[in-house]
Amino acid sequence: MSTIGFIGLGIMGGPMAGHLVAAGHEVTGYNRSPGALEKLKAAGGSAAGSVAEAVAGRDIVITMLPQDEQVEAVFTEILEHAKPGALYIDFSSITPKTAEWTAAEGAKRGLRVLDAPVSVGEPGAVNATLSIMVGGSEADFEAAKPVFAAVGKTYELVGPNGAGQVVKAANQLVVGGTYASSPRRSCSWRAWARTPPRAWMSSPVASRAARSST
C-alpha cells in the first residue's frame, strides 16, 4: 500500500480520502476547514497543517479542488515539497490547458502526473462508484489503479495529459452545455476539439458518466 497526501477534503475529497484509508493506504490530508481534517482523523487518516506537510515524502499526491486557480496555487507548493518520482493525481475538473501545465511542470521536477476528473457527483464519492476519465501515460495509469479502484467503479485511460479533462468536458456539453457556460473552459475545449483524445465518447467510462449526469 502507498503513502498518500490528499489536498482538498470537501464534499467529494473527504469521502474519497476515507475510502483510501479503508483500502489500507496511509493517508495524510490537508484542508482549510478543521472539520474536514477531524473527519479524516476519525476515519483513520492523519491531518497535516499545510500542503507541504501533507505531501512531503509521500508516494502519491492527490488533489480534489474546485477550480483551475486553486489547482495552480496548490500544485506550485506541491512542486516545491513532493519527492522526485511521486505520482500526482488531480481529480479536479479543470481545463485541459491547466492539466497540461501541471504535467509539463511536474516533469521538470521528476513528478509523474495524471489528470483524472470524475463524474457521478457526491453519491459516487460517498459510495466509491465514481467514473474516472484519466489523461496521462500508460505506466502512470497502471501505477494509479489501486487508487482508482478504491474510489471508483469505472476508470479508463482516454489519452495523454489533458485528455481526461476533454472527455469530462464533452460529457458536460452532451448533458446540457454547462461546461460551455464558462468562457475559460469553453475556449480551452474548442482548442482541444481539433485533436480529440482517443476513445472519445465511445469509451465505457465516458458513456456511463454521461448517463449519470442526466
Looking at residue 212, its pLDDT comes to 52
- Give the C-alpha distances (Å, rounded to integers) separating 26 from 3, 45, 82: 5, 7, 16
- CA neighbours closer than 13 Å in the CB half-sphere of residue 174: 18
Residues 158, 205 contacting (CB under 8 angstroms): yes
Looking at residue 197, its pLDDT comes to 53
Looking at residue 87, its pLDDT comes to 99
The predicted-structure confidence for 120-134, as pLDDT tens digits, reads as follows: 899 999 999 999 999
Can you tell me the distance from the alpha carbon of 192 to that of 72, in angstroms, rounded to the nearest whole number?
Answer: 20
pLDDT at residue 154 greater than cutoff 70: yes
Specify the pairing of strand 152-159 against strand 26-30. Answer: unpaired
Looking at residue 209, its pLDDT comes to 52
Of 183 and 2, the structure prediction assigns the larger pLDDT to 2
What percentage of the chain carries pLDDT values higher than 70? 81
pLDDT at residue 14 greater than cutoff 70: yes
For residue 153, indicate whether it is catalytic: no
pTM of the model: 0.85
The Cβ of residue 92 has, within 10 Å, a number of other Cβ atoms equal to 26
Average of per-residue pLDDT across 60-84:
98
pLDDT at residue 201 greater than cutoff 50: no
Count: domains in the chain: 1
The predicted-structure confidence for 28-53, as pLDDT tens digits, reads as follows: 999 999 999 999 999 999 999 999 99
Which residues span the domain enclosing 204?
3-212
Which CATH number fits the domain that encloses residue 178?
A: 3.40.50.720
Task: Report the alpha-carbon angle 146-137-167, nearest 5.
Answer: 85
